[in-house]
């Protein structure tokens, strides 16, 4: 018996059986055969609609061993990127999904029991022949011919001699069978312990170290431990784990140059093209400038021309570099890779949006028109074209197309918020129709992705119309929405929202004269961008001076100004400078005050928050706010709680009385002292 398995046929056959295993993406399967082994790579393909999506990729080696009448496949050397589980578990899962019930899995091994018998029973009756006896049929040859495996079997044949790599892989799989079963089952902690026990039994075993590093690299806070084990393995000469894991560990520990060098080595040496390309993409992501990033992406696409993820990334970099024709060529290549009119429409829709975001509106319009060739009534493409035309000065036509796109989206139940916001902008900025723009922006729901910019623009437009109350309400809604953005959100998410909040704070201070509301807006901006110097400066200014804050430095005093005015101005400046230079801690305390204030307002019975807030207000010298907090607490306090609050309230009243006396406000001081006396009674 002779069996030939072609790599290309195997790729097509396995791709359908693996669908859904690595998420919802379509899969690209690549197989390279060698004598008694193969290298397999499975990568997800990015759809044009999935802007910014990062797909998983896994690569591994398969070794073939003839054991008597059986054939054994051994999974080894698993590595990957952006995977939902450790690479070894994913690789084993892929092989298990492909072979189904034809083989029995034992850890990382798949045993095909007497496959000669199974083939004879499956094929010979179809040809009208009886099934012969298959006793003592052994596999005498396992070889590679071009891109095909050739397997030969005969009765009483001498079994084919396995390769050294296959024997080593078999021994490792036998050693790690229990640990691999735990890993596949998702028992990561137990699997790691089992791998450590195996490492004690077989010290300096490189494959075992690879699997432990693989687990630690995915565990928060273990990057240093994983990197230490990697360096130890290198120092002993045991080899190193393949794939991008070393580079990821170096990147996590802050060694940017080392990470880029590691990604470059993998990109050159990795036999699986998709994984090699992914390593070069990683180098592009962390490159220090756009030109270097574009060069890494050139290398990535040289390795894997079908990588849609790398090609979309290169489109973005080429646009940033002004290489518009090259970017257009990449988009056309992506259209050629797309299958079906919907996919081609999605390519040009995404390309149009990228050109539009890069500020190249005239070319963006042409790309949206190409998208409309494949789907003439698609609302998103119509909206993109309308927005681009409005930006070019064709305001009437652009606004008309946006209105049509909005109507089509409403009829089809498609998302409408992005189109509605684009229409509102066109009305306000191109047709100067602020009332209509406000009406469009106001109906964008709070759960839409566009809700935050819609509230910000609504506030700005209402302020321009003189509707200060409406503008204040819109900005208040903006702050409520911004509160839902988690701390630590990425710069690209946090910065635009923080800038909206800064604009809202300027409005509250300069037009409504409400520094408290301004400080609340700035507090949320500071939460999103805690290390931004300008936001910190504005927040300190709002907390310190308490008055109007300006775009730049205060103007110099006019010549001949009265000495008391000059003195007062210098004193204010001095206060602001002192706060800015030495009181970052006070700024952090003030931010904590705003947070605790919200907690106490939400739950007046939260005594712990109220006590911490009182301490901070006292430390910051905000006596009136402290007195208001303590008075509110005393109003509903029981006997025990009153015994805690009353002394603090009396002390606050005495401090305020002293400050009033020092300023010459004797009547005010007397009132404070009378209140303190009444509270003592």
Number of domains in the chain: 3
pLDDT at res. 603: 73
User: 361 in a domain, yes or no?
Assistant: yes
The CATH number of residue 384's host domain is: 1.25.40.10
3-class SS at 289?
coil
Report pLDDT digits (tens) over 172-198. 999 999 999 999 999 999 999 999 999
Is position 438 within any domain? yes
Q: Kindly report, residue by residue over 54-83, the tens digit of the pLDDT.
A: 789 999 999 999 887 888 999 999 999 989
pLDDT digits (tens, 9 = 90+) for 550-596: 333 333 333 333 333 333 333 333 333 333 334 455 566 777 777 77
Strand partners for 141? 152
- How would DSSP label each residue in 455-511? HHHHHHHHHHHT-HHHHHHHHHHHHHHHTTSPTT--HHHHHHHHHHHHHHHHHHHHT
Task: Output the DSSP codes for 162-201.
Answer: PPHHHHHHHHHHHHTHHHHHHHHTT-HHHHHHHHHHHHHH
Domain boundary pick from 175, 203, 224: 175
Out of 113-127, 511-525, 555-569, 647-661, least confident range: 555-569
* Mean pLDDT calculated for residue range 633-640: 72
Three-class SS of residue 242? Answer: coil
Q: In a 3-state reduction of DSSP, which class is residue 150?
A: strand
Helix axes 584-602, 515-528, angle to 10 degrees: 110
The whole-angstrom separation of Cα 220 and Cα 622 is 41
* pLDDT in the model for residue 205: 80
Give residue 549's region: left, alpha or beta (phi > 0; psi -120 to 50).
Answer: beta
Specify whether the CB–CB gap between 130 and 120 falls below 8 A: no
- Per-residue pLDDT of 480-492, as tens digits, reads 888 888 877 777 7
Q: pLDDT value at position 76? A: 92
What would the pLDDT profile of 586-602 be if each residue is shown by its tens digit?
566 777 777 777 777 66
- List pLDDT tens digits, range 416-469: 899 999 999 999 998 999 999 999 999 999 889 899 999 999 999 999 988 888
Contacts of 76-80 spanning 24+ positions with Cβ under 8 A: 76/108, 76/169, 76/172, 76/173, 76/207, 77/207, 77/210, 77/242, 78/214, 79/241, 79/242, 79/243, 79/244, 79/245, 79/275, 80/56, 80/243, 80/275
Query: What whole-number distance in Å separates Cα of residue 274 and Cα of residue 305?
Result: 9
- Give long-range contacts, CB 8 A cutoff, 24+ apart: 364-371: 364/388, 365/389, 365/392, 367/331, 371/345, 371/346, 371/347
Q: Which of 320, 297, 321 is nearest to 309 (CA)?
A: 297
279-317 pLDDT tens trace: 999 999 988 889 999 999 999 999 999 888 899 999 999
Structural domain for 154, as ranges: 2-175
In a domain, 8, yes or no: yes
Sheet of 148-155, strands arranged across = 2-6, 148-155, 137-145
Q: Is the pLDDT of residue 236 over 90?
A: no
> Which are the contacts of 263, defined by CB distance < 8 A and separation ≥ 6?
244, 247, 279, 280, 282, 283, 286
Phi, psi angles (nearest 5°) of residue 244: -90, 0
Whether residue 121 has pLDDT greater than 60:
yes
Mean model confidence pLDDT for the chain: 83
Residue 237's pLDDT is: 61
Of 385, 412, 444, which residue constitutes the final position of a domain? 444
Q: Is residue 579 part of a domain?
A: no
Between the alpha carbon of residue 552 and those of residues 395, 549, 610, the distances in Å are 35, 9, 37
Distances in Å between the Cα of 170 and the Cα atoms of 163, 164, 325 are: 11, 10, 52
Q: Which helix (H) or strand (E) holds 291?
A: helix 290-303
> Three-state SS for 66?
strand
pLDDT at 393: 85
3-class SS letters over 19-59: CCCCCCCEEEEEEEEECCEEEEEEEEECCCCCCCCCCCEEE
237 φψ region: left (φ > 0), alpha (ψ -120 to 50), beta (else): left
- Whether 73 maps to a domain, the answer reads yes
Domain membership flag for residue 313: no
**In contact, 424 and 387? CB cutoff 8 Å:** no
What's the rounded Cα separation, in Å, for the pair 94 and 166? Answer: 20
Return d(Cα 25, Cα 131) in angstroms, integer. 42
Question: Under a CB-based contact definition with an 8 Å cutoff, are residues 223 and 252 in contact?
Answer: yes
The CATH number of the domain holding residue 614 is 1.25.40
Mark which of 124, 158, 175 sits at the end of a domain: 175
Domain annotation covers residue 44: yes
Residue 107 lies in a domain: yes
């Amino acid at each position: 018996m002779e069996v030939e398995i072609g790599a290309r046929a195997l790729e097509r056959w396995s791709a359908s059986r693996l669908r859904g295993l690595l998420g919802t993406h379509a899969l690209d399967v690549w197989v390279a055969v060698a004598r008694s082994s193969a290298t397999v790579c499975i990568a997800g393909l990015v759809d044009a609609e999935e802007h910014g999506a990062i797909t998983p990729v896994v690569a591994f080696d398969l070794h073939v061993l003839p054991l008597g009448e059986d054939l054994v496949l051994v999974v080894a050397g698993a590595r990957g990127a952006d995977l939902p589980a450790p690479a070894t578990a994913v690789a084993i899962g892929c092989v298990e999904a492909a072979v189904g019930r034809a083989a029995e899995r034992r850890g990382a091994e798949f045993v095909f029991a007497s496959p000669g018998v199974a083939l004879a029973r499956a094929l010979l009756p179809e040809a009208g022949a009886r099934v012969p006896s298959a006793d003592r049929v052994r596999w005498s040859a396992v070889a590679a011919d071009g891109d095909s495996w050739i397997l030969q079997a005969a009765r009483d044949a001498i079994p084919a001699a396995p390769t050294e790599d296959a024997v080593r892989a078999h021994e490792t799989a036998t050693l790690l069978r229990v640990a691999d079963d735990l890993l596949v089952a998702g028992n990561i902690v137990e699997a790691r312990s089992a791998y450590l026990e195996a490492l004690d039994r077989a010290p300096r075993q490189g494959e075992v170290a690879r699997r432990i590093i693989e687990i630690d690299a995915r565990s928060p806070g273990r990057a240093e431990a994983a990197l230490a084990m990697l360096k130890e393995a290198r120092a002993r000469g045991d080899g190193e784990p393949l794939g991008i894991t070393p580079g990821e560990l170096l990147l996590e520990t802050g060694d940017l140059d080392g990470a880029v060098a590691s990604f470059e080595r993998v990109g050159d040496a990795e036999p699986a093209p998709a994984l090699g390309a992914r390593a070069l993409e990683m180098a592009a992501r962390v490159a220090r400038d756009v030109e270097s990033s574009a060069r890494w992406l050139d290398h990535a696409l040289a390795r894997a021309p079908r990588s849609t993820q790398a090609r979309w990334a290169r489109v973005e970099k080429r646009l940033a570099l002004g290489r518009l024709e090259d970017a257009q060529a990449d988009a056309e290549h992506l259209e050629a890779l797309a299958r079906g009119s919907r996919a081609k429409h999605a390519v040009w829709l995404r390309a149009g949006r990228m050109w539009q975001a890069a500020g190249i509106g005239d070319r963006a319009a042409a790309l949206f028109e190409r998208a409309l060739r494949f789907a003439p009534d698609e609302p998103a493409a119509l909206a993109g074209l309308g927005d681009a035309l409005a930006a070019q000065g064709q305001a009437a036509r652009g606004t008309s197309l946006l209105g049509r796109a909005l109507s089509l989206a409403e009829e089809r139940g498609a998302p409408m918020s992005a189109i509605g916001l684009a229409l509102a902008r066109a009305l306000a900025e191109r047709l100067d129709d602020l009332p209509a723009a406000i009406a469009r922006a106001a109906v964008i729901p709070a759960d839409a992705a566009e809700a935050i910019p819609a509230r910000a623009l609504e506030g700005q437009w209402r302020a321009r119309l003189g509707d200060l109350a409406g503008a204040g309400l819109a900005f208040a809604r903006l702050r409520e929405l911004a509160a839902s953005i988690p701390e630590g959100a990425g710069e690209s998410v946090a910065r635009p929202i923080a800038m909206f909040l800064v604009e809202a704070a300027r409005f509250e201070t300069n037009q409504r004269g409400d520094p408290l509301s301004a400080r609340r807006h700035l507090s949320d901006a500071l939460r999103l961008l805690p290390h931004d110097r300008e936001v910190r400066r504005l927040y300190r200014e709002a907390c310190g001076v308490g008055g109007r804050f300006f775009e730049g430095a205060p103007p110099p005093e006019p010549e001949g100004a009265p000495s008391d005015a000059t003195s007062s101005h210098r004193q204010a400046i001095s206060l602001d400078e002192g706060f800015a230079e030495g009181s970052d801690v006070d700024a952090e305390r003030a931010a904590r005050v705003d947070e605790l204030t919200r907690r106490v307002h939400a739950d007046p019975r939260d005594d712990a928050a109220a006590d911490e807030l009182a301490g901070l207000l006292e430390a910051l010298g905000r006596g009136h706010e402290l007195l208001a907090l303590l008075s509110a607490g005393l109003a509903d306090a029981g006997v025990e709680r009153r015994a805690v609050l009353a002394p603090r309230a009396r002390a606050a009243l005495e401090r305020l009385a002293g400050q009033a006396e020092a300023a010459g406000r004797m009547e005010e001081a007397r009132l404070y002292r009378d209140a303190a006396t009444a509270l003592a009674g």
